[in-house]
Amino acid sequence: MEKILPARARRFDERRKNIEKGEFVVKSSKNDLDELKRKVALGNRIMFYQGLADYHGHVSARIPGTRKFFIKPVLAPLGEIAPKHVILVDIDEYMEVCEQNYAKAGNKRAVTKIKNPPRETMIHAAIYNARPDVNSVVHTHQTIATAFSVAGTPILPIYNQAAVFAPETPIFPSPRLIYTVQDGKEICQTLGDRAAMLLKGHGIIVCGDSLEYATVHAIYLERTAYMQFIASCVGKPSIMPTSEIDYMKENMMFRSYDAFAYFKSLLPKNARL
């Protein structure tokens, strides 16, 4: 394990430096972009058919090595998203427009006047801005994990697929919707370098290196919350040993692709892409 983790850290560091220098690690072809749009549509559909999102919530993916990402349009039910609906957001442009609208609105909080992206696109823009290691962000209002936020109880790494939530999911202390650049900065402070966080009285955020990783861990977050709830009823939930957490964290970087394929296979025939 000691040999793998520094390599991963080096990869992230290299990517960060390249993005800062404006050099893209990956040049995406049109086919790559079409495939990424298809994956964004699939990620949204999977969250819908897992019962974790309706028309609230969104799955996004960064175009690798850039400050742009794909996201579903506002208010569209997640289960019906097709690649042609997926829209492109430039992080810097988005933040600038949000700042201008905020100033125009006299510092009122209802400031998102941009037509197509979801109202809480700032969640995605702020995290991609703060975390060059993140290539996908999922935000939902899923029931059980959100209930933990309301109770002020962090979700813990209590089973293998929950290892990435170690040492625990931080909790953002406000239910307000995340519209402004300042809101974005604040959630990033709470998130730190973690893979998941809870938004008290609001929902959850999961992020990761790939869309597959972020999507499947949003599902595992709900399962972990359910498992932790049951474990708390019958005893005291115990956290996995650190060595096992480290092993599974690394392992899930790869296994997420298989897990995503599995959840994709559960989509009804008429919802497959």
**Residues interacting with Zn ion, by CB under 5 A?**
120, 203
Cβ-based nearer residue to Zn ion, 144 or 163: 144
Yes or no: say if 212 and 257 are a contact pair by the CB < 8 Å rule: yes
Q: Tell the residue number behind the tokens 């650190």, with chain if given.
A: 242
Cβ-based nearer residue to Zn ion, 63 or 147: 147
Cβ-based nearer residue to Zn ion, 203 or 208: 203
Give the DSSP H or E segment for 207. strand 203-208
Cβ-based nearer residue to Zn ion, 158 or 199: 199
Yes or no: say if 101 and 108 are a contact pair by the CB < 8 Å rule: no
Q: How far is the CB of 239 from Zn ion (least distance, A)?
A: 28
Eight-class DSSP state of 227: H
Cβ-based nearer residue to Zn ion, 74 or 253: 74
Q: CA 224, 252, 166, 65 torsion: positive or negative?
A: negative
Q: Please, is 187 exposed, middle or buried when counting C-beta atoms within 10 Å of its C-beta (0-12, 13-18, 19+)?
A: buried
Q: How far is the CB of 42 from Zn ion (least distance, A)?
A: 21
Give the DSSP H or E segment for 177. none
Q: How far is the CB of 134 from Zn ion (least distance, A)?
A: 18
Q: How far is the CB of 130 from Zn ion (least distance, A)?
A: 18
Q: How far is the CB of 11 from Zn ion (least distance, A)?
A: 31
